[in-house]
């Protein structure tokens, strides 16, 4: 993606607005600031946790799960990371709701998030 100065923020409802996933994609430092605001964790804690390409925090019951993806990597790496992290976020929702047979839920949620982000990232200018 190699977008070092910008950040994109998304919210994707799953079932209803009550159950959703927040996504922050782009500049790593800006993403960390968003995570600090969203999670109320210290900047040092976020720095320690966000040591790879992406991270997901489970914020239930007070808020939705949040995903952050470092946009300094090529687009294919960012999208693969988003898919990976979306599975974690989906599983947090599954656990919170107590869904027993969750494979289809996780698969559909992951596909939905990726379709929406890719539609936005790959839209043509004009």
User: Tell me: the pLDDT tens digits for 67-112?
Assistant: 999 999 999 999 999 999 999 999 999 999 998 888 999 999 999 9
* Residue 67 φ/ψ region, left for φ over 0, alpha for ψ in the -120 to 50 degree band, beta for the rest: beta
1 belongs to a structural domain: no
- Residue 18 belongs to domain spanning: 7-121
Please give the Cα distance from 124 to 126 (Å, whole number): 6
User: Tell me: the pLDDT tens digits for 12-38?
Assistant: 998 777 899 999 999 999 999 999 999
Is residue 91 a contact partner of residue 56, using CB atoms and an 8 Å limit?
no
104 belongs to a structural domain: yes
2 belongs to a structural domain: no
* pLDDT for residue 5 is more than 80: no
Number of domains in the chain: 1
Please give the Cα distance from 15 to 18 (Å, whole number): 8
31 belongs to a structural domain: yes
Please give the Cα distance from 24 to 45 (Å, whole number): 17
pTM of the entire predicted model: 0.90
């Amino acid at each position: 993606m190699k977008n070092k100065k910008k950040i994109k923020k998304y919210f994707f409802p799953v079932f209803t607005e009550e159950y959703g996933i927040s996504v922050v994609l782009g500049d790593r430092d800006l993403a960390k600031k968003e995570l600090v605001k969203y999670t109320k964790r210290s900047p040092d804690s976020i720095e320690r946790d966000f040591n790879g390409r992406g991270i997901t925090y489970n914020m239930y019951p007070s808020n939705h799960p949040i995903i952050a993806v470092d946009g300094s990597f090529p687009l294919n790496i960012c999208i693969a990371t988003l898919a990976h992290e979306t599975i974690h976020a989906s599983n947090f929702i599954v656990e919170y709701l107590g869904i027993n047979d969750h494979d289809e839920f996780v698969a559909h949620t992951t596909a939905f998030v990726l379709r929406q982000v890719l539609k936005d990232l790959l839209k043509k200018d004009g």
